[in-house]
């Protein structure tokens, strides 16, 4: 038994995440390159302009391309399992919700910056969890080991929960900086580990689903 549609869709999701990662890394690295290029360039204005254009490409275009690819991939994968359709629906809901929060912010109805961060964290995390559940379910149908997928799901859930705990922690201004720092470090560690494991799951899934 093979699942070609899920395999093809998850391959697209994998490359979408790689493109998004490249965009994020470029945005982080560009300020450093910008400083170096300005110091070493006689034409400071043009040097800054060139890197600004690259920054727009990295910070806007690449994440957008990755986002669209991920949506297409989830639609394709959804033809083999309902969980991918759910992940797609949640991602679309994220777009609508972000647009609504942006409009409320622009109209000065309410400040939505902190709400927006929590909203993105929750819906993005749930979308990933549904995607992982789809992979796990198809693995079970094929009799493939699900240990890596299950581990990734657990760590991802921990990361999402910690994100909200820290958000509440900051909102109530609890005066315990040591515990707050420990939770932040655990969150960073869980986020990095879960993201790497998620990429590994996406990379391995197409081959396993086609065997």
Is the pLDDT confidence value at 154 over 60? yes
Q: Please tell me the predicted confidence (pLDDT) of residue 127.
A: 93
Predicted confidence band at 8 (pLDDT cuts at 50, 70, 90)? very high
Is the pLDDT confidence value at 69 over 60? yes
Q: Which whole-number Å values give the CA distances from 111 to 100, 122, 134, in the listed order?
A: 12, 19, 36
> Distance between CA atoms of 75 and 83, rounded to whole angstroms?
11
Torsion of CA 145, 151, 153, 159, to 10 degrees: -170
Mean pLDDT of the chain: 82
Domain span at residue 120 reads 4-210
Predicted confidence band at 167 (pLDDT cuts at 50, 70, 90)? confident
Task: Please state the domain count of the chain.
Answer: 1
Q: List, for residues 75-105, the tens digit of each pLDDT value.
A: 999 999 999 999 999 999 888 887 777 777 7
pTM of the entire structure?
Answer: 0.83
Q: What percent of the chain has pLDDT over 90?
A: 42
Categorise residue 143: left if φ over 0, alpha if ψ from -120 to 50, beta otherwise. left
């Amino acid at each position: 038994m093979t699942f070609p549609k899920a395999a093809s869709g998850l391959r697209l999701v994998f490359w979408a995440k790689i493109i998004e990662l490249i965009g994020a890394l470029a945005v982080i690295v560009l300020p450093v390159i910008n400083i170096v290029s300005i110091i070493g360039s006689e034409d400071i204005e043009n040097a800054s302009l060139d890197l600004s254009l690259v920054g727009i490409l990295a910070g806007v275009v690449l994440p957008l391309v990755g986002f669209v690819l991920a949506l297409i991939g989830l639609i394709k994968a959804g033809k083999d399992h309902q969980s991918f359709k759910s992940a797609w629906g949640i991602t679309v809901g994220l777009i609508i919700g972000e647009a609504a929060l942006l409009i409320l912010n622009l109209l000065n109805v309410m400040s939505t910056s902190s709400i927006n961060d929590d909203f993105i964290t929750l819906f993005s995390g749930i979308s990933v969890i549904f995607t992982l559940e789809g992979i796990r379910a198809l693995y079970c149908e094929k009799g493939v080991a699900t240990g890596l997928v299950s581990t990734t799901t657990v760590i991802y859930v921990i990361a999402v929960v910690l994100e909200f705990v820290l958000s509440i922690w900051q909102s109530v201004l609890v005066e315990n900086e040591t515990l707050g720092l420990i939770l932040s470090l655990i969150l960073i560690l869980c986020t990095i580990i879960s993201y790497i494991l998620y990429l590994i799951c996406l990379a391995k899934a197409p081959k396993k689903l086609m065997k």
